Amino acid sequence: MLKKSLSIMCLMAFVLVGCSRPYSNGYVHYIHDLGPNDIECNSFYHYIRVEKGLNQSGLQRYDLITEKDQDIFISEDPDNQKVTSYWGDDDEVYYVVITYQEGDDEKVLYHYDLHSETCETMMTTEGYLDVSRDVITNKIKVITDEQNYFIEDGELQQIDPSDEISSGFSSSEDIVRIVSDDGTIIELYKQYKQSEFTYNVDGISHEITALSDCGGEKSGLSNFFVIEGDKVIGIVQIVKNGRNGIIPCNIIRYDDLKKEILVSIDYKTGESEILYDTQKNTIRIVGYSNGNVYLLNGSKIICKDLADGSEKEMCSLSNKGNKQLSFSWVGSKLIVFDEYNLQVIANIQT
Q: What is the DSSP secondary-structure string of 226-266? A: EEETTEEEEEEEEESS--SSPPPTT---GGGEEEEEEEEEE
Question: What span, in angstroms and rounded, lies between the C-alpha atoms of 121 and 205?
Answer: 47
Q: What are the φ/ψ torsions at residue 323 (nearest 5 degrees)?
A: -95, 150
What integer pLDDT is reported at residue 247 of this predicted model? 55
Q: What is the mean pLDDT of residues 230-259?
A: 74
For residue 198, is it within any domain?
A: yes
pLDDT tens-digit map of 273-282: 999 999 998 8
Evaluate whether 59 touches 47 at the Cβ level (below 8 Å): yes
Q: What is the mean pLDDT of residues 110-125?
A: 97
For residue 273, is it within any domain?
A: yes
Greater confidence (311 vs 242) lies with 311
What integer pLDDT is reported at residue 211 of this predicted model? 92
Q: What is the mean pLDDT of residues 70-93?
A: 95
What integer pLDDT is reported at residue 219 of this predicted model? 81
For residue 285, is it within any domain?
A: yes
Assign 269 a pLDDT band (cuts: 50, 70, 90).
Answer: very high
- pTM of the prediction? 0.82
Q: Structural domain tally of the chain?
A: 1
Question: What span, in angstroms and rounded, lies between the C-alpha atoms of 31 and 235?
Answer: 11
Q: What is the mean pLDDT of residues 68-77?
A: 96
% of the chain surpassing 90 pLDDT: 52
Strands 283-289 and 272-277: unpaired
Q: Strand pairing partners for 248?
A: none
Question: Which residues lie below 8 Å from residue 322, measured CB to CB, with a gap of 6+?
Answer: none
DSSP 147: -
Reply yes or no on whether the pLDDT at 18 is more than 50: no
For residue 194, is it within any domain?
A: yes
What integer pLDDT is reported at residue 138 of this predicted model? 76
What integer pLDDT is reported at residue 258 of this predicted model? 87
Q: Which residues form the domain of 245?
A: 173-289
Q: What is the mean pLDDT of residues 262-289?
A: 93
For residue 344, is it within any domain?
A: no
For residue 280, is it within any domain?
A: yes
For residue 276, is it within any domain?
A: yes
pLDDT tens-digit map of 135-182: 667 789 999 998 999 999 989 999 987 666 544 444 456 788 888 888
Q: Output the average pLDDT for the chain.
A: 83
Q: What are the φ/ψ torsions at residue 41 (nearest 5 degrees)?
A: -160, 150
For residue 272, is it within any domain?
A: yes
